[in-house]
């Protein structure tokens, strides 16, 4: 689909096409090692549905050295990168906001819903989120449920999750949260 993963070329459109194809047919999308740059080009927001997204692993510790795995660099301050739907998973990816240094830039959340459809049947495993303003943010009227978070790290994150209407089955196993320059990191209202 044309993903360059060189950290210089905008991969928004190519990754969007790959995710659309995977969501339409179901299956697994394998992402290469390297730096996949998402800049918000062409206002691309990718739907996460019926697809297992698998990276080449994440760097050890808090480094963002993409030669050790798959890193998605996010730089848009206006475009939401991913919209949550049903039946998807993400494994082995480092999500990194390279321009977020002190918590003052409210980048869009990594994953949100579309404002109408439920978000669920999700597996989030062996991923790292670094310098995110918000990790996962829910529209208050849209139910989210059946999420499994495991073996992942969130470092320097303003709010890991902003969830207000939960369905059944939120599981956190071996997940490390580090707020970094922010005072809060989770907002659950159940």
Q: What is the pLDDT of residues 39-74, one digit of tens each?
A: 988 677 889 999 999 999 876 555 555 456 899 999
- % of the chain beyond a pLDDT of 70: 81
pLDDT of 175 > 60? The answer is yes
Classify burial at 188, counting beta carbons within 10 Å of its beta carbon; exposed 0-12, middle 13-18, buried 19 or more. Answer: exposed
CB of 38 within 8 A of CB of 29? no
pLDDT of 81 > 50? The answer is yes
CA distance 84 to 71: 20
Q: What is the pLDDT of residue 102?
A: 64
Mean pLDDT is lowest, of 10-14, 94-98, 126-130, 183-187, for: 183-187
CA distance 61 to 63: 6
Q: Which residue has the tokens 């995110």?
A: 132
Provide the whole-model pTM: 0.88
The more confidently predicted of residues 34 and 100 is 34
pLDDT of 135 > 50? The answer is yes
CA distance 180 to 169: 28
Residue 28 burial (CB count, 10 A): 11
Q: How confident is the model at residue 155 (pLDDT cuts 50, 70, 90)?
A: confident
């Amino acid at each position: 689909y044309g993903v360059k993963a060189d950290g210089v070329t905008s991969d928004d459109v190519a990754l969007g096409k790959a995710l659309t194809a995977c969501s339409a047919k179901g299956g697994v999308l394998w992402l290469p090692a390297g730096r996949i740059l998402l800049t918000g080009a062409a206002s691309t927001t990718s739907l996460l549905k019926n697809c297992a997204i698998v990276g080449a692993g994440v760097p050890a510790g808090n480094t963002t050295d993409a030669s050790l795995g798959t890193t998605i660099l996010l730089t848009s301050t206006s475009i939401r990168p991913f919209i949550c739907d049903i039946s998807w998973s993400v494994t082995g990816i480092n999500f990194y906001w390279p321009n977020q240094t002190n918590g003052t830039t409210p980048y869009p959340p990594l994953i949100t819903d579309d404002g109408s459809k439920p978000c669920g049947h999700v597996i989030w495993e062996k991923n790292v989120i670094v310098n995110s303003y918000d990790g996962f943010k829910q529209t208050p009227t849209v139910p989210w449920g059946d999420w499994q978070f495991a073996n992942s790290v969130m470092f320097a994150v303003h709010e890991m999750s902003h969830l207000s209407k939960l369905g059944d089955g939120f599981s956190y196993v071996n997940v490390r949260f580090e707020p970094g320059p922010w005072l809060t990191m989770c907002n659950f209202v159940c």
